[in-house]
Structure 1
């Protein structure tokens, strides 16, 4: 009979991971857990301690610092797979999961399903001929080298791509490899997993290629399985039920989706809302039951397409979803940095991204050129971003797969501050108080069009008090709102004095906050 070793990549919510591991190993299966090295060490220690008495749970020898779109996700998966292969010699199948996945069939059903079909379940489509990639980079993922993270280092990511493109610094795919692409949620047989591990030990050139490929978790296993396994032993599908909107965002399932999920021809579903506690409880109980019969209709994707395509009955031309009932989400934290000196705020965000695992976006409501992913056009202009701001932020949270997101706003955006604070999400605000020299304010006047290159010195002397007062007034107006969770750091303060508000704002250890606050170039004009 099939025995499954689940491969779980996770980075947060320790209690849910413990519950998931306990539930999935209770009926005789196993699990190898990779917990992101960017996450707090205390969380990892608590996870290890809670599961230390469970012989069916294993951990890799080394944890990796993971970043979306990077090789580190593949590296973490391989580390967990190697741990599972070594710890569970009787495991016949290795099933890739995330913390957002839940079983939608019983363990009994899942094992019988795998016993009846001797195959590897993995999406594996031709990279060049298929339309699996809907928007964004396609061939550029392969022919250019990607050393930087698009989400945390957008300027470096797009800058290095532009330089390689301009200089013609392309590369070739390894000659004997046909590039494939598909979902990263797979279920592979033991002999396939062992063949992959042997292959990467022999073919370091292939590993080197994928290490600088963009989003390799959608191509690495998909390509190697097709390279190593006969076609008639590959079932070109995932066993995890997931759907995407027209904007490329994953559909989230809630409490009222129980019957729909059970009717799908899949073993697991992703992604289950953190708020869907009733759904999680019911699915958890279902997994350990025996003798359950499932009526599989598999209508989920058709039903979703039908409902989103026609709108509610009688509302074919109803307002789009972002024009009503938009909210960022009750369980999410929006962190806002505000500073009139944009370059100071951008430096702070860059430093925070390097020290922590927090996704950051610069002045997205102030600068149209802010690097952003394609979200179906809602991000195309400043007017659209501002008009649909809550929906835009929700889509960005989904895109980054995070519950915490850090952005920059100019202090003049008082209406945006008020709106975000009125949402159901948690909002925190950090003001950076800078010193403003006359030379800086003169440059600011030119940047915003209050003065030009030929404006006389006498006119500048007249303008400067007004500009200085405007900057002061914007800061005072923000403070007058008495926003909760409001923090402030000052240029005139010592790094030690700025570390405490930074730690509170970011929710990080004081030692990491000191590291950020001690950035030498932070306030340099």
Structure 2
């Protein structure tokens, strides 16, 4: 009989953690919780709510830092606590505070019972392309005593000194290093083997204590060392969704039908505001079904992201460390369009045709997916206050001197802000057909009329919006930009190809192909 001990690391949002823990133990499973020692109030709230539940145990707490050994130490503490408290536990499932099940509990238990294996993503550290940029072997062969995120000068200074003095080190004897996602599922026998190994081999722990980002290598390497390969599945059972631009998306209420059909057991990055999604997943978890039909879309997404790898040096400095200028030598390409899906299709097609790195509506959407930029990326309001600083960091993150974004025509202040910088600017306006039905939908999306309002009830408002949209387009033309391009549904293929070629600096043949196949305006 399968009994899961969930290994949960968290540091915030205590009410959600309490809700998550109660859900996971409601059908016979257990949970071991580690709360970051830097968050005492969070710990006290969770402990007070769950301390009388014998299905819950708490791990010895450590102060955690991204990329540090402390994350592995916290996980080991939770694993030891679970092993001691829950003698009947057969599996140990690693989770974060924003994970929720996307299958019925009966299905999860049946799946684990039918697959006598550990689920650990693992790739050869030196041969694979899992790390795409940033330091690679330096993570292992040099010692890291400082956090790259919080003490960047010391981190890279220490690394430079070690390289200069030739202070590289050897790997632990007999241990092949593997790398992969930290979201593992271990059987009890594997956990016992790992804990026995590190008791017998203190050199392994000493090595990983000064390894950079060891949560991506520690369990991955040790599992492959102590377990026959035929008993390890090279995958995670926790699903992450990704945007068209290869960046992780936060899952919201309208993602339920997508994630429940994926061939995974849990999903990560559930929005704290997705109350309806959480409720539906809670109801799904209680479903008695042992077999659930799944689609094959998730493996394709998973292959894409694992092929892309993780960014080794992922934390840019915060905007106030760099100043608020994009700077000379950088070129901004801005696609202006009222219909967001049209602009997003255009920039995705432009990337496939050889255009620059491209993002969506960076300054217009609350839920836009952005890489970590020191915290400024977390809200539209923050991004809007420091537009040029955000763009400068995006240039540096993507290691490029050309960057393309989308912009709502109403956000002309952002366009003026970019034009006032020392960077080069090109603008492509996609002039889509705006009919009364679209205007009514826009009014509903912005809560200007009730959801059930009919077109006849919003007549005067529709006329006002129509005039507003036309004025926004004219305001852009009034800026008299030196490199302004425009496309409309009525443009012929030849003109469209010429405009695209000039805007993107593409060969005319590539632009013709893009114009012919990739630019629907509806």
1:317 Cα shift?
A: 3.9
CA gap of 1:148–1:259, structure 2 versus 1, over 3 A, is same
Q: Does the CA contact (< 8 Å) of 1:310 and 1:316 recur in 2?
A: no
Deviation track 1:84-108 (CA, whole Å, cap 9, x = no partner) reads 0000000000000001111010110
Partner of 2:5: 5
Q: Distance in 1 between matches of 2:150 and 2:245?
A: 21
Q: Does the CA contact (< 8 Å) of 2:362 and 2:405 recur in 1?
A: no
Partner of 1:316: 349
Deviation track 1:262-289 (CA, whole Å, cap 9, x = no partner) reads 1111100111122222111111121122
Q: Counterparts in 2 of 1:417-432, with a 5 A limit? A: none
SS at match of 1:316: helix
- Between the two proteins, the alignment pairs up a number of residues equal to 357
Q: Counterparts in 2 of 1:458-469, with a 5 A limit? A: none
Partner of 2:78: 80
Q: Distance in 1 between matches of 2:395 and 2:170?
A: 26
Does residue 92 in structure 1 map to residue 114 in structure 2? no
Q: Distance in 2 between matches of 1:300 and 1:125?
A: 19
Q: Distance in 2 between matches of 1:236 and 1:315?
A: 30
CA gap of 1:314–1:150, structure 2 versus 1, over 3 A, is closer
Q: Distance in 2 between matches of 1:171 and 1:244?
A: 37
SS at match of 2:132: coil
- TM-score under structure 2 length normalisation: 0.62
CA gap of 1:53–1:140, structure 2 versus 1, over 3 A, is same
Partner of 2:127: 129
Partner of 1:213: 211
SS at match of 2:249: coil
- TM-score under structure 1 length normalisation: 0.61
CA gap of 1:292–1:195, structure 2 versus 1, over 3 A, is closer
Mark the runs of 5 or more structure 2 residues left unpaired by the alignment: 306-340, 377-385, 408-420, 422-522
1:327 Cα shift?
A: 4.7
1:389 Cα shift?
A: 13
Q: Counterparts in 2 of 1:438-457, with a 5 A limit? A: none
CA gap of 1:57–1:271, structure 2 versus 1, over 3 A, is same
Deviation track 1:33-87 (CA, whole Å, cap 9, x = no partner) reads 0000011x22211111100121100001x21000010000000000000000000
Q: Distance in 1 between matches of 2:347 and 2:181?
A: 36
CA gap of 1:149–1:244, structure 2 versus 1, over 3 A, is farther
1:336 Cα shift?
A: 10
1:316 Cα shift?
A: 3.3
1:229 Cα shift?
A: 0.4
Does residue 375 in structure 1 map to residue 373 in structure 2? no
Q: Counterparts in 2 of 1:102-251, with a 5 A limit? A: 102-244=100-242, 249-251=247-249
1:251 Cα shift?
A: 2.6
Q: Distance in 2 between matches of 1:231 and 1:19?
A: 37
Partner of 2:275: 277
Q: Counterparts in 2 of 1:253-402, with a 5 A limit? A: 253-291=251-289, 293-300=291-298, 302=300, 311-312=344-345, 316-317=349-350, 320-323=358-361, 325-327=363-365, 375-377=397-399
Q: Distance in 1 between matches of 2:159 and 2:257?
A: 46
Mark the runs of 5 or more structure 1 residues left unpaired by the alignment: 338-362, 391-412, 414-525
Partner of 2:53: 54
Q: Distance in 2 between matches of 1:7 and 1:373?
A: 37
Q: Distance in 2 between matches of 1:102 and 1:212?
A: 32
